[in-house]
Amino acid sequence: MSEAEYEAVMGLEVHVELATATKLFCGCVNEFGSEPNTNICPVCLGLPGSLPVLNEKVVEFALRIGEAFHFDVPERSIFHRKNYFYPDMPKDFQTSQYDSPICADGYLEVDGVRIGIERAHMEEDTGKTTHVGGGGRIHDADHSNVDYNRAGVPLMEIVSRPEMHTAEQAKGYVSELRGILEAIGVSDVKMEEGSMRVDANVSIRPVGSDTLGTRAEIKNMNSLRSLGRAIEYEISRQVELVESGGRVVQETRHWDESAGITHGMRSKEGSEDYRYFPEPDLVPVAPTDAMRATARAAIGELPAARRERMVAQWGISETDARTLVESPGLAEFADATVAAGAPGKDVTNWLSGEVLAYLNETGLSLAVLPLTPGKLAELCTLVSDGTLSRNLAKDVLGECLREPKDPKAVVAERGLAQVNDEGELGALVDAVLAGNAETIEEYRNGDDKLRKKKRGFLMGEVMKASKGSGNPQVLNRLLDERLN
């Protein structure tokens, strides 16, 4: 059989760090990039006698997730201890939710297809280990050093049903999920910094079969692109393996970004034996109607609805709407610029063109740019009232992206304002024509092709004479009036 005769089946487990001020069970700061072991206390170090107390913000965020992904929120959910032997948690267990998660049975629409989400539960993140010696690889290391700043940081684990079949679909799911999590304000969802981590369970089966094949769990993809590459690689690997008479074994496989392959990790002994039991130090969570109403009220417009509104109200394309909604902060910026009086279509063109290109090129985030919605609206006005041509406006925008300046101030400072005055421009055209009698002659006697060429030359001279600031429409008209 060839690859076309197999169907891939995959489910995704997404861990997302919640953007709370403090950790899940203690008041230590929840922050990325602090000095090692500075955000630790008796609770997150698991010191004897310490007691965890649940962060109310985490429950609120979990309930927002419940609303946004159409989950059932059971009357009660409880925490469990997941026991394992590994030094990334000082307690030797991770506090998580097991058979009683806060969110059950939700879904997400991706390009018109409904992908089921089995559950979403609260749990704590683990510490960060650094392996010393042996090239930094865990099994060759001499010893390891642990930083517990991340231990106890609140996570939601969101587990889809195995209902996706292509790498594209998996990427679409993660992209939509990420957009919604950002829109509802529960996480900064940065795959590159690890605040959103995606594991993919991938299996194959012959087309037409409805039993699931043995799955491999792929880890370590830190961008949407690497998620897609890893899944495609893994599907091919499994097809080749089965075609050559082998069997897929259930294991964890590590995606190696530079080599473009997945490789198996040493198999876990008794890996499923976490001996979960109810956490005796925490009482059940029973979301009240008031808590659920607060969460519902905190949810803004979700990405799909926002795209629809932009397309309908601004007359922009679905692709442009997607670009705005999927780039962090861009849609909010567009809304604020429109609220400041600019037309949605113009705003979209600037944001999805020049502004996005500048962000990609510099790696900066929108929030740190000196450009504000008010300034972009001002720029749009300068174009619509004829002060600036689009080309000049591009220059002005470039300056406003780099410097904290108003577009009007840039125009004044650089003398960029477009000249619309017909008298002034007419004089310029006359002066150019007076110095190009020969060209005019050639234009008048030439065929269409030559006429076009000569006219283009004259227009260029006229623009040059106006130092680029003449209104091109007016100049074109004045030139034609004189030539014909």
Partner 1 sequence: MADPISRADVEHVAKLSRLALTEDEVEHLTRELAGILGHAADIEALDLDDVPATAHPLPLVNVLREDEVRPSLDRAEVLAQAPLAEDDRFRVPRILGEAP
Residue length of the chain:
484
Q: Helices in 77-223 by DSSP H: which ranges?
A: 167-183
Residue 401 CA to residue 369 CA, distance in Å, equals 6
286 binds partner 1 (CB under 8 A): yes
Exactly one of 221, 285, 359, 377 binds partner 1 (CB under 8 A); which one? 285
Binding-residue total with partner 1 (CB under 8 A): 67
85 binds partner 1 (CB under 8 A): yes
Reading phi first (left if > 0) and then psi (alpha if -120 to 50, else beta), residue 263 is in beta
Residue 158 CA to residue 160 CA, distance in Å, equals 7
412 binds partner 1 (CB under 8 A): no
Rg (CA), the chain: 30
* 8 A C-beta contact, residue 418 and residue 387: yes
Give the DSSP letter of residue 470: B
Exactly one of 9, 10, 16, 26 binds partner 1 (CB under 8 A); which one? 26
Using the contact rule CB under 8 A, the part of the chain among 18-26, 228-236, 363-371, 462-470 near partner 1 is: 18-26
Q: Which is nearer to partner 1, 210 or 272 (CB)?
A: 272
Q: What is the closest distance, in whole angstroms, from the C-beta atom of residue 145 to partner 1 in the complex?
A: 4
Where b means 16+ CB within 10 Å and e means fewer, 394-411 reads ebbbebbbeeebbbbebb
Residue 382 CA to residue 466 CA, distance in Å, equals 19
363 binds partner 1 (CB under 8 A): no
Exactly one of 8, 40, 334, 432 binds partner 1 (CB under 8 A); which one? 40
49 binds partner 1 (CB under 8 A): no
Chain Cα centroid distance, residue 420? 43
33 binds partner 1 (CB under 8 A): no
Residues 123-162 that bind partner 1 (CB under 8 A): 129-132, 138-139, 141-148
* 8 A C-beta contact, residue 36 and residue 161: no
Q: What is the closest distance, in whole angstroms, from the C-beta atom of residue 61 to partner 1 in the complex?
A: 10
**Count of CB atoms within 10 A of residue 112's CB?**
5
Exactly one of 252, 294, 439, 476 binds partner 1 (CB under 8 A); which one? 252
Exactly one of 36, 46, 343, 426 binds partner 1 (CB under 8 A); which one? 36
Closest C-alpha among 236, 188, 118, 112 to residue 365? 188
Helix (H) or strand (E) holding 450: helix 448-465
283 binds partner 1 (CB under 8 A): yes
Q: Which is nearer to partner 1, 263 or 444 (CB)?
A: 263
Q: What is the closest distance, in whole angstroms, from the C-beta atom of residue 258 to partner 1 in the complex?
A: 21
456 binds partner 1 (CB under 8 A): no
Q: Which is nearer to partner 1, 145 or 250 (CB)?
A: 145
Residue 234 CA to residue 256 CA, distance in Å, equals 12
Q: Which is nearer to partner 1, 287 or 470 (CB)?
A: 287
Q: What is the closest distance, in whole angstroms, from the C-beta atom of residue 303 to partner 1 in the complex?
A: 26
Residue 413 CA to residue 458 CA, distance in Å, equals 29
Chain Cα centroid distance, residue 12? 17
Exactly one of 14, 94, 335, 475 binds partner 1 (CB under 8 A); which one? 94
Using the contact rule CB under 8 A, the part of the chain among 3-11, 82-90, 328-336, 439-447 near partner 1 is: 82-90
Using the contact rule CB under 8 A, the part of the chain among 88-96, 369-377, 392-400, 411-419 near partner 1 is: 88-96
220 binds partner 1 (CB under 8 A): no
Residue 380 CA to residue 350 CA, distance in Å, equals 9
Residue 21 CA to residue 28 CA, distance in Å, equals 8
Q: Which is nearer to partner 1, 132 or 207 (CB)?
A: 132
**Token representation of residue 471:** 């209104």
Q: Which is nearer to partner 1, 88 or 256 (CB)?
A: 88
Q: Give the residues lining the site for partner 1 (CB under 8 A).
A: 20-22, 26-29, 35-42, 45, 53-59, 76, 78, 82-88, 90, 94, 100, 129-132, 138-139, 141-148, 252, 265-266, 268-271, 273-275, 278, 280, 282-286, 288
